[in-house]
Each structure stands twice: as structure tokens, then as C-alpha cells.
Chain A
């Protein structure tokens, strides 16, 4: 059964460093998302991506964040200069269609720890 994969599973970085979180969505999916969950808090939407551009982004997704689909398979989230408050679990998701009822398939997440 196809699944969304994410690497690494755990990333530890120093404050101010750049990190890139990687995701491989399901191969025939067209819509891609990033969410994050700070420990003890809700899963929060960050950004959606379609046809090589951002469809929607939240207030959290400021200039420190960027997304890219550098090739036909990977979907990346870059945090340019990490802050302590960026420590969270980051989930990638993908779906075939944009209709809101379309199921989003989630990866297992990357736990980012900023020291």
C-alpha cells in the first residue's frame, strides 16, 4: 500500500541553523501539505502546495519557512533560521484531489528539536 514517507524521523539542530525536512508523497497525488504539532498542542496547518506553488499558508508560515518540490518525488520544508519555538513534530500530507473531502494521507512525522 502506498504511503507518505518523511526523513529524518528526528532532527536536532542549534538555534539559528537551517533545517530541511523531507517528504516523499504518494506518487499519483497532486496536493501537498505541511502541518506541525508543538508538544501538548494541536496539529496546526502550515501550508498547502499545488502545481509548484503555494495554494494557502497560515500565519505561522512566515518568511523563515519555504517549501519546494525540487524533483518529481520530494517535497521539502525549509526553516531558514530555526528558533526554539520551532521545536515540534512536522507532518507532511498529500491528497489526490483538492476537494476538501478528499482524504489526506499523512507521513509519520519528523520530530524537530531546536537547542
Chain B
């Protein structure tokens, strides 16, 4: 079975500081990995995804994530936080051999202090 663990339900950074949101997954088959962001009163929006190929993937709004198979991790980073980055972030995994079902982590709420 697949699962996702996001370390830290709340992360707080100062504006301009590095953002690091942690995600570890468990999967018996090669996974597809996703990061979604949810702003207040809005739906989940795809930030970036890893399927195959290059392990460092770039997404929208300056975010990127690196797939590390040896560490079963897919951490999300952004070099410099902006106030508008404050939101809830969800890591998700799906199996290449199944349909589009996404399995989500518990989410990390990112706060950005001025």
C-alpha cells in the first residue's frame, strides 16, 4: 500500500527565508509524486509533479522539489519566501499502474512572517 508522511503540520518562516516542506512516501512500485497548494477558500492547485526522468522538478511560483529514491523523499523548497506563499501544502502519491487516485499526506500549513 502507498502512504505519504508530511513532517510538520505547521511551518513558519520569515519573508525572504528558505522554505522547506518535508514529504516522505512509501510505495512498493515506482511512484508518481505531486505537491498541491490550497489557499483559503480555494481548491487544491497543482504546484509540481514528478513522474519519470529528471529528479529535480520545478513548479509554479518558484517552488521546486527533488525526488530522492534512496531516501523515499520528495521535499518542497523555495529559496525565498513571499507573504503570498502562506497556504496549506499537500504532498500526494499515485501509482503508475493504477488510475488517477491520489493518496495525500496530512498537509503542512505554511505561515510567512513579515
Contact = CB atoms under 8 A, between A and B. Distances in A.
Contact of B98 (A100, A101, A106): A100
A100 B43 contact: no
A93 B36 CA distance: 13
Given A100-B32, A106-B36, A106-B45, A43 B100 contact: no
B114 interface: no
Interface string B70-114: 000000000000000000001010111011111111110000000
Contact of B100 (A41, A58, A100, A108): A100
Interface string A61-102: 000000000000000000000000000000101010011111
A108 B41 contact: yes
Contact of B51 (A43, A48, A101): A101
Contacts, number: 66
A42 B104 contact: yes
Interface of A: 3-4, 31, 33, 35, 41-45, 48, 55-56, 58, 91, 93, 95, 98-109
Given A31-B99, A56-B99, A56-B101, 4 more contacts: A42-B107, A56-B98, A91-B43, A108-B43
